[in-house]
Chain A
């Protein structure tokens, strides 16, 4: 079983040279720590920066330089700032090659729910609906089950959805799964996790074809 850093490491393997990438808040943010030295990628934050760098050195924080999580950041050489409409033109216009975001639930049709829990305070969707509706390539990073041990990979989302039929790949603490017209297609197992354990933790339709390799992390 992976921890959140393991999930981030596995997702970092999906990055290709020349990609512009938008990372959501939470586990996705950790992906930036595991990018291979052999490739060059640039991180976009939807509040208006391309070429986002690591957190600043203590004392160098700049209130005019934050990411979409409102955290202080730095700008790398070659970085650029832009307004919010231009930022979402990059996203909607599919100039950003990969979006990684967290989810509360994903359905075997590729629907995603990550913005609202009825009865709890609704904070808003931020940029999530634009991101999931627009990206060609969306990877969801999340735990396979919730704190109560219930599957987050469902036949149908029980929570209000953020986007319809948009998620292509899910990386959890237990597995890598693709989504196609058949449902969740199991691609890889996390180290030490069996196919049966993944089956038991997946409520949505799970397709298992042949030998399922263990992730190489």
Chain B
């Protein structure tokens, strides 16, 4: 079996350099690679381009890297929940590229799947479509979107095995499988790392071929952004 297990997040991020492009899984704060983000913060690496659906909140998720001004550019679909983000964007310290969420997911998937570009109807006729090739299919205009890849992709799964196979839980799956495919080096952190053979091959979401490093994560906070409940009567 190919050796993929590393001891922790610090080992997981080995080889990270300034100005690299990273992908980070998660939707809001759900399914984010918490351990990798902490290790990136502690490493002091800067000038990062981060491809991630959101940018965390002020004191959690990618907000931790924004606090230390480690991010040069964000490529996201929605960045609303972060006051520091707004301030950095308005002052010009942070570049932001906003992409329709479905195009973002498909651009990652395409990057991992060897599809250099694809046509989508999303964004046609809007600012997003400006300067992009337009072609009509079945009587409907589409714009050309290019694939995305990254030097490192950081993903978070529920369970993983020593072969790098991953299983996600609930809606914490989101962008993680798509980004896992698109990293030159994909680093998976899991809540439960098990020996090869302990996961049912029928139940695996991300095949281990897409994962170069895997480690058992620790101290997951799993913060909830919008706690909405019904009363227990």
Residues of A within 8 A of B (CB): 45-49, 54-73, 75, 81-85, 87-88, 91-92, 111, 116, 121-130, 133-134, 160-164
Select from chain A the residue with minimum beta-carbon distance to B83.
A121
A84-B101 in contact (CB<8A): yes
Residues of A within 8 A of B86 (CB): 121
A64-B106 in contact (CB<8A): no
The answer, among A60, A84, A123, for a CB contact under 8 Å with B174, is A84
Select from chain A the residue with minimum beta-carbon distance to B170.
A64
Select from chain B the residue with minimum beta-carbon distance to A132.
B122
A160-B126 in contact (CB<8A): yes
Contact A83/B173 with A66-B30, A92-B102, A129-B122 known, Cβ cut-off 8 Å: yes
The 9 closest A-B pairs by CB, nearest first: A88-B102, A130-B102, A123-B80, A164-B125, A84-B105, A64-B170, A124-B78, A129-B100, A133-B121
Residues of B within 8 A of A126 (CB): 77-78, 100-101
The answer, among A65, A123, A163, for a CB contact under 8 Å with B170, is A65
A47-B125 in contact (CB<8A): no
Known: A88-B102, A124-B78, A129-B128. 17 other contacts (CB 8 A): A60-B229, A61-B227, A63-B29, A64-B222, A72-B228, A81-B173, A83-B105, A83-B205, A84-B102, A84-B104, A111-B125, A124-B80, A128-B100, A133-B124, A162-B126, A163-B126, A164-B126
B228-A71 in contact (CB<8A): yes
Interface string of B79-113 (1 = CB under 8 A from A): 11100001001100000001011111110110000
A81-B170 in contact (CB<8A): yes
Contact A49/B125 with A69-B226, A124-B79, A127-B102 known, Cβ cut-off 8 Å: no
Cα distance A45–B176 in the bound complex, in angstroms: 17
Interface residue tally for chain B (C-beta within 8 Å): 58
B232-A58 in contact (CB<8A): yes
B229-A58 in contact (CB<8A): yes
Q: Does B14 contact A (CB under 8 A)?
A: no
The contact sample of 13 A-B pairs, CB cut-off 8 A, is A67-B171, A70-B29, A70-B30, A71-B227, A83-B176, A84-B104, A84-B174, A85-B177, A88-B101, A92-B120, A134-B121, A160-B126, A162-B126
The answer, among B104, B176, B224, for a CB contact under 8 Å with A63, is B224
The answer, among B77, B175, B226, for a CB contact under 8 Å with A124, is B77
Interface string of B147-166 (1 = CB under 8 A from A): 00000000000100000000
